[in-house]
Chains A and B, each alone.
Chain A
Amino acid sequence: GAVVSQHPSRVICKSGTSVKIECRSLDFQATTMFWYRQFPKQSLMLMATSNEGSKATYEQGVEKDKFLINHASLTLSTLTVTSAHPEDSSFYICSASIGPGALSTFGSGTRLTVV
């Protein structure tokens, strides 16, 4: 089955620093990857849609200059949280699919804590 690897699983960083999270599709090519954020006791909220070779599409209210998304290849998308603040502490999850209509596979998530 399709496997999506997300790394790191946990990261603690100091306020003001940047953190990069990687999402890789291991056994399939993902033309589209999605990034979600989940605060405690809340649901997953779609942050952005990442298309290989083009700019990401951000959901309303998500700062594109703060959450940098790069999808340089068909198997790798990265999310960089720039100048992180404690309010950015959250569970970040990526998902990937082979193409339109195909089921998406979720990564294992990254727990970000900004201190």
Chain B
Amino acid sequence: QKEVEQNSGPLSVPEGAIASLNCTYSDRGSQSFFWYRQYSGKSPELIMFIYSNGDKEDGRFTAQLNKASQYVSLLIRDSQPSDSATYLCAVRGTGNQFYFGTGTSLTVIP
């Protein structure tokens, strides 16, 4: 399986702060990158996807991709307690399957 690495955390940030989540991947040929949020005992839900180098913004979320460094990040601005979850970085394979990182546990402290 493709290797996708994340810092498992836990990461704690105060409410209103910026949470920064990082991910590296091993397959230089990977083209599609995804961030999922997973609450305990639930299925992952898609937060964002990014295909091109640079930044992609959607509301409070910004995904950043640097293919040369094989690095993807997710920034969450104005963090809310409801953002507390495990965030999974995923790389899509050529057959549309996903390879997930181990996830980063985020806690937003009110």
A residues adjacent to B (C-beta < 8 A):
32, 34, 36, 42-46, 49, 57, 59-60, 91, 93, 95, 97, 99-104, 106-109, 111
Contact = CB atoms under 8 A, between A and B. Distances in A.
Interface of B: 1, 41-46, 49, 88, 95-103
A43 B43 contact: no
A110 to B, nearest CB: 10
Contact of A43 (B41, B49, B103): B103
A29 to B, nearest CB: 14
Nearest to A96: B96
B102 A42 contact: yes
Contacts, number: 52
Contacts of A42: 102
Q: Which applies to chain B's interface (DSSP): helix, strand, loop or mixed?
A: loop
B82 to A, nearest CB: 20
A49 B43 contact: no
A108 B100 CA distance: 17
B98 A46 contact: yes
Contacts of B101: 43
